[in-house]
Copies of this chain bind each other. A is one copy, B any other.
């Protein structure tokens, strides 16, 4: 409503009350203005009301919502179902254009503003997370793996002979696929065991680059966030190698934004050596539904060229989810969540250590991994160490999700044509079977307590029943939860 509208309201309700209402509206507007001006995540989260106000203001700016618009194109963002329209706040045009995913759309000024703003907010948040030198980023509605592909394919455009990706082993399928699908050949660098930790073999990388020749290498793809006992790669050292050999360096930082151990590495690497792009998931770092990832880097031009490589416009959903979430969260709450995560990590470690001792096991010592941790499962094995994975299923049927049990019964897997021994363990043979658990953003102390209680019960049950050779289905799935 504009001033005239408010004036008209005073014919229905006395002026001083309307004045007060208008005043309140101005407060919302002031926040919106501040956001448009500074394009940073607000310190205090907004109420849902202010968020919806802004979403509506932007939504009416898109052509599919123009009153009396007539559309005679092949794509007019008509929406059939009102359920669908509502869940998208009546945005229909997605983001980007055939030209570029960060391009503005003439038909969709509102969507374009939202997209530009959200990318700005994201840049701000990446800085808050610890990567202060980041120059540009954009949200892309694709999985992390697909985004890694997009980066590598872009690198390739200026490296016509490049074919190999130097890849310190991380046993995650989408990672392998991102290389294979792009038509590249992964060159696996096996990890070294240092104490309980699995760490990057720098020498092997060096040797491989020299062996294959830098021009034939698309990039070195490193990983920060990963399951223990693997720990983040030696990013700083690798970045120096990449700089020296002029080989691109791509970092898979999937859920690393939430952990300063990871962001600090990236920030340092960018100072000391070469980091071309780092890619992370929106859902794993910011508590939104699966669907988007963020491609970021320290050279704006390079990141722009990646954004231009995406052919066509795309779903605005991951962008909108982030937009709403950032406005609702505010930087203060984000920082609190990061802090709580760190505390929960410590709490989980101490509790898991306790329950491990109780059952004659121990917490693996992996201090470089700030998110995931492992607990040995040596003593529980009776006959075949493969059975140990049963513990994961037993936990799942007791509503514990997210644990992984690695039996280390050395077998070979073939992932997209790539033969990998003991896939899942990040190495050909680890010295014991183990179970992993992680402290990720949004986890609560109650989650930890519940997990420990249920784990304790499951370990007891497993040990008592495994002697009888085969677990009956009932025993496996019986659910203790009230």
Contacts and interface: CB of A to CB of B under 8 A. Distances in A.
Contacts of A454: 70
A213 interface: no
A420 interface: no
Q: Which size bracket describes the interface of A in this complex?
A: 35 or more
A195 interface: no
Given A17-B104, A143-B310, A68 B399 contact: yes
A260 B78 CA distance: 21
B145 A142 contact: no
Interface centre among A23, A63, A290 (most CB of B within 10 A): A290
A391 to B, nearest CB: 13
Contact of A153 (B27, B67, B181): B181
A99 interface: yes
A71 B290 contact: no
A367 interface: no
Contact of A290 (B57, B172, B316, B446): B316
A175 B311 contact: yes
A29 interface: yes
A32 B3 CA distance: 12
A287 B80 CA distance: 5
A356 to B, nearest CB: 14
Given A79-B288, A87-B88, A17 B112 contact: yes
A24 B143 contact: no
A401 interface: yes
A186 interface: no
Interface in A2-22: 2, 4-5, 8-9, 11-14, 16-22
A155 to B, nearest CB: 10
B91 A174 contact: no
A143 B312 contact: yes
B67 A27 contact: yes
A364 B87 CA distance: 41
B77 A283 contact: yes
Contacts of A49: 56, 59-60, 65, 90
Contacts of A21: 60-62, 109-110
A91 B289 contact: yes
Contacts of A112: 12-13, 17
A316 B315 CA distance: 11
Interface stretch (A199-207, A323-331, A381-389): A323-331
Given A13-B104, A74-B440, A81-B325, 10 more contacts: A17-B104, A20-B396, A24-B61, A24-B63, A72-B348, A81-B288, A83-B324, A94-B289, A174-B313, A177-B311
26 contacts: A12-B104, A16-B477, A17-B106, A24-B399, A48-B83, A49-B59, A52-B56, A69-B400, A74-B371, A75-B284, A76-B402, A77-B289, A79-B287, A80-B288, A98-B145, A98-B175, A107-B401, A141-B315, A148-B311, A153-B181, A177-B310, A177-B312, A183-B183, A291-B317, A292-B315, A308-B416
The 9 tightest CB contacts between A and B, nearest first, are: A73-B402, A94-B290, A21-B61, A145-B311, A143-B312, A291-B315, A177-B311, A145-B312, A98-B174
